Amino acid sequence: MSQFSEKDFDAINYADFRPTYSIEFYKKMNEYHEGEKNLLIDVGCGPGTATLQLVNLLKFKKTIGTDISKPMVDGGNNLKQKDSNVEFLVSSGEDFQFLGEEFNAKKVDMITAAECVHYIGFNIFQENCWKNLRKNGTLAIWGYVNPTIAGHPKVDKISFDYFYSADKFGPYWQQPGGKIISNLLQDCKWDETKYKDIKNVVMFARDYGTGVNEDELYFGCSSTPEGLRRYFTTTSFYHGWKKDHPNEKDLSESFLEEVLAACPDLKANSKVQIVFDTFYMFARAI
């Protein structure tokens, strides 16, 4: 994740080629939340992709997005509306000292974390969130990994190979976070002395379109095979690999070539549905 903090990291590229979260997903979150909507904190906010959706759809009186990466925070500040009730701050995901006098005062109504808790550490994160959430305040965690193109199972194997093989991006995953997210946080356990009404949902991309899950809750986007290639370039492992191999053929380009060779019905600009293995976790503070 440290690559996201480097000055040359492209936050706009990150915002443009990452998947979005559906209105249906935010409806689920909104229905789960109980009580007041005074303050929402979105940690690991990146360039504000989820933060700005939360502002528009959940309509809290105030929203704060935090990220350890200044380029990401700058990206969020550039995207927000001038008179918006959202602010973006540089802060590590487990640190809420920016709340000042209300730090650890249990006054926050909701804390959200999209695609970041595997880097922060689940146990310290849930502990520090509990110290700041009001009684029955919501902690919502979600994320995604392992992209594929719906209806093209061959892409699953190609994507997995590039993600995890030792001669490709595998060595560039920051650990243990990489293993945690690849398992969709299924090994992370809630402290049930501090949280109740726990809801953990895991959905695998291979089941998309089969009726096993609610398809509208999957994280993904309508894009192209080229768009999927560009997604690769937003990852920290790609950024790390590129630093070490500045003069080699770009692995994301090799990935796209393999996808098009394996799926002759596709072209680089074909309209496709990109789908990820998806998880979300909701809980209420006791």
Which architecture does CATH list for 2-149+174-220+275-285? 3-Layer(aba) Sandwich (3.40)
187-199 mean pLDDT: 99
How confident is residue 16, by pLDDT bands cut at 50, 70 and 90?
low
Highest mean pLDDT (candidates 5-14, 19-28, 102-111): 102-111
Give domain limits for the chain.
2-149+174-220+275-285
The DSSP bridge pattern shows strands 133-149 and 108-114 to be: parallel
For 135-146, b where at least 16 C-beta lie within 10 A, e where not — what string? eebbbbbbbbbb
171-183 mean pLDDT: 95
Higher pLDDT, 6 or 77: 77
Among residues of the chain, what percentage have pLDDT more than 90?
88
Q: Specify whether the CB–CB gap between 54 and 60 falls below 8 A.
A: yes
pLDDT in tens, 95-126: 999 999 999 999 999 999 999 999 999 999 99
The DSSP bridge pattern shows strands 108-114 and 62-67 to be: unpaired
DSSP bridge partners of 199: 282
Q: What is the sign, positive or negative, of the torsion defined by CA atoms of 8, 18, 140, 159?
A: negative
178-199 mean pLDDT: 98
pLDDT of residue 41: 99
pLDDT of residue 83: 66
φ and ψ at residue 40, rounded to 5 degrees: -120, 135
- Examine the pLDDT at 9 and tell me if it is beyond 80: no
pLDDT of residue 2: 45
Query: Rg of the chain's alpha carbons, rounded to an integer?
Result: 19
| Cα 43 from Cα 115, distance rounded (Å) | 10
| Residue from 84, 282, 276, 117 nearest 201 by CA | 282
- Examine the pLDDT at 133 and tell me if it is beyond 60: yes
- Examine the pLDDT at 82 and tell me if it is beyond 80: no
DSSP bridge partners of 202: 279
How confident is residue 25, by pLDDT bands cut at 50, 70 and 90?
very high
pLDDT in tens, 215-267: 999 999 999 999 999 999 999 899 999 999 999 999 999 999 999 999 999 99
- Examine the pLDDT at 269 and tell me if it is beyond 90: yes
**Burial (0-12, 13-18, 19+ Cβ within 10 Å), 228:** buried
Tokens of 55: 């502002």
The pTM score is 0.91
